[in-house]
Amino acid sequence: MLDQANLSSSALLALLAILVTYASWTDVKQRRIPNWVSAVTLVAGLSAAFAVGGIEQLGWSAAHFAVALVAGMILTAFRWIGAGDAKFYAAIAAWLPIQLGLWLLVSVALAGLVLLVAFSMKRRGRIARTSAGQSDFDKLPYGIAIGLGGLLAVALA
């Protein structure tokens, strides 16, 4: 017999997986993550938080989103990450309460490490660096790591 909570959780994870897949695909193909993908991811995450834990859970998830967005914009100002990556990470952060912020960060970092190794091997051992003179396609499409690490963090939380 299907449990309604498990069915809802599965549907939410499936939605997140679809959003992550699309964001990853556009990041690879265009080196950008559309704003609408981040917006839908944010709304879905906040809706899931409210459905799971009411107004309190919504507050913790909104706080996680806000902290992640501010941190991401600071990193963007220093050109360490792209604005699309910052917005997408913050949107995924909304799927988890702020208490699981470190869990999300570690999950994304580990996915990023795997991506970096694969990307470097594909480029014949050269480590990808972000600099002003590079083409966008010379840069690591970090939306993949954000998506996969975020999906893993949400699924295992």
Domain ranges of the chain: 4-156
Write out the two tokens for 119: 């990307």
Confidence (pLDDT) at 10: 85
Position 3 scores a pLDDT of 45
Mean pLDDT by 10 residues, the chain (157 residues): 58 95 96 97 95 94 99 97 97 98 98 90 59 60 96 94
pLDDT of residue 124: 65
Cα separation of the two ends of the chain: 24
SS3 for 106? Answer: helix
Q: Which two tokens stand for residue 11?
A: 């549907």
d(CA 117, CA 75): 22
Residues 58, 82, 71: CA angle, nearest 5 degrees: 45
**Phi, psi for residue 115 in degrees, rounded to 5:** -60, -45
